Amino acid sequence: MSNPINTRPVRVRFAPSPTGELHLGGLRTALFDYLWAKHTGGTFILRIEDTDQKRFDAKSLESLMRGLRWLGLEWDEGPDVGGPHAPYIQTERAAIYQQHAEMLLEKGAAYRCYCTAERLTEMREEQRRTKQTTGYDRRCRYLSPAERAEREAAGLPSVVRLAVPVEGKTTFIDLIRGEITVDNRQLQDEVLLKSDGLPTYHLAAMVDDHLMEISHVLRGEEWLSTAPIHKLVVEAFGWELPVLAHLPVILDPSGKGKMSKRKKVVEGKEYLALVHEFISAGYLPDAMFNFLTNVGWNYDPTVEIFEREEAIERFDISQVNPKAAALPYDKLDWLNGQYIRQITPAALKAQLIPILSKQLKIPAAKLQADNRLDILVPQIQERLKRLDEAVEWIDWAFKDADEIVYDDPSLLLGRKLDAAQSIAVLADGAAVLRTIEPFLPDDIQAAFRERAAALGISAGGYFGPFRAAISGKKVSPPLFESMQALGRDEVLRRVAWGGEALEKMG
């Protein structure tokens, strides 16, 4: 497809600041970058914006790359893969920004500001007290050459600020929101280079977008208000502004504020926010890809599940909805369930092993070789929405009989049976279980049904005490496959324990 607005080859960058764990909003931006790059046959670039050293967190950088790769968003150029515009980590490019700040100083488009932090605080307090709008009062902009020379001679630390035109208007086009115009009087002389010699976002991102030949900037809506500054910075250099597209904010599950970066509990339900949390909860990358593609854009309102290639084929950045919306978490769970059902039981087993291994504290290799999983995984495949739910479904199968605690022995009662009758059912069934050879689900089931009929009780009433005895739970995977997974000896041990628990209750 042709490239709207400009005719440059499409080059898009995801430019996160490694100041904490990647959240779903960031991952959505990266996904849209990726979709747009792939749709146009362009290039997807990862650039690390780490110039805020106070907030830098090395761990988050690694986790960020893991999160992107988990979703399948391989970058064509970036920190570890290199590329024609390396380095892709901003702190390694400090000299480039300093040179560019000098260029603006020489042109008179920027100026050195020597105001101290104390002076700025006083100024703001005064502005608040006299009910003026707060912001830098441009004192250093109008220093005479002599005053400037004096400050330089005294070796005063300084920052570089953009000299924003005091009159006129600035207009830019947002691909999603249309033309936006602001009055320059509303803008501040923003800092471009800090006194530590590192650039602010306003300078670093513009310089890099230019040098890295970025054609489209897709970024969160929170940057919309600074876009006029960016236009002015780019103009001051005499460059072309990339096409801007500000993606809608993702709202909290309540639909009120912006989605928080922490997981949230609303009415007893937990809502995750960070990418690594979604990974450990067992969301499948394909489901997440499908889900996030529809957050702010829509593949087709009549199609729920689509392939990555199909999304790439259709994706159109100009069709993104500018309106903020809450994440439909239920939809994600539903989709994940659909994707879980699509994979083979062997693939599902492989996906479950890391989660089970961690939660059940059993080495992965041991689980891999364990035939209980081979029997149980196909039984729970239909029931899972998140992979971590498997723990609750099958943990009982990996415990010892004496670890099955009957917190609520009434679970062991068969429907419409009292304790004595339930004990009798367990004893009756135990005798049957000893005779079944081979120990296969259909045969056990047929024999149990026969016994229930002979005793004049319902099949459900007869099965109930066994389900609770072997799993300690009211809900578990199908009973007879569960028995097969445990094996006869273990089933008999648990049935005996269940009987004892009922005795104590009686």
The answer to whether residue 243 forms part of the interface with ligand GLU (CB under 6 A) is no
200-219 burial string, b = 16+ CB within 10 Å, else e?
bbbbbbbbbbbebebbbbbb
Please state the closest distance from residue 26 (CB atom) to ligand GLU, in A: 7
Strands (E) in 8-77, as ranges, are 11-14, 43-46
Please state the closest distance from residue 201 (CB atom) to ligand GLU, in A: 6
Which residues have CB under 8 Å from 489's CB, separation 6+? none
The answer to whether residue 219 forms part of the interface with ligand GLU (CB under 6 A) is yes
| DSSP annotation string for 413-450 | SPTT--HHHHHHHHHHHHHHHHH-SS--HHHHHHHHHH
Q: Out of 194, 258, 261, 473, which one is annotated catalytic?
A: 261
Please state the closest distance from residue 484 (CB atom) to ligand GLU, in A: 52
Nearest CB to ligand GLU, comparing residues 217 and 327: 217
Over its C-alpha atoms, the chain yields an Rg (Å, rounded) of 32
Cβ atoms within 10 A of the Cβ of 293, count? 22
The answer to whether residue 42 forms part of the interface with ligand GLU (CB under 6 A) is no
Binding footprint of ligand GLU, residue count (CB under 6 A): 9
Nearest CB to ligand GLU, comparing residues 15 and 73: 15
The answer to whether residue 49 forms part of the interface with ligand GLU (CB under 6 A) is yes
Of residues 1-20, those binding ligand GLU (CB under 6 A): 15-17
The length of the chain in residues reads 506
**Parallel, antiparallel or unpaired: strands 325-326 and 250-251:** parallel
The answer to whether residue 27 forms part of the interface with ligand GLU (CB under 6 A) is no
Closest CA to 67 of 274, 310, 318, 337: 274
Using CB under 6 A, pick the residue from 187, 205, 227, 355 that binds ligand GLU: 205
Nearest CB to ligand GLU, comparing residues 90 and 336: 90
Look up 54 and say whether it is catalytic. no
Please state the closest distance from residue 97 (CB atom) to ligand GLU, in A: 14
Please state the closest distance from residue 212 (CB atom) to ligand GLU, in A: 12
**Which residue stretch of 104-112, 215-223, 368-376, 465-473 sits at the interface with ligand GLU (rule: CB under 6 A)?**
215-223
Report yes or no: 75 and 43 within 8 Å, Cβ to Cβ.
Answer: no
263 token code pair: 């997981």
Using CB under 6 A, pick the residue from 70, 223, 306, 334 that binds ligand GLU: 223
Nearest CB to ligand GLU, comparing residues 21 and 389: 21
Question: Following CA atoms 340, 297, 11, 38 in sequence, which dihedral angle do they give, to the nearest 10 degrees?
Answer: 40
Please state the closest distance from residue 60 (CB atom) to ligand GLU, in A: 11
CA 344 – CA 336 distance, rounded (Å): 14
- The site for ligand GLU (CB under 6 A) is made up of 15-17, 49, 201, 205, 217, 219, 223
> Which residues are known catalytic residues?
261
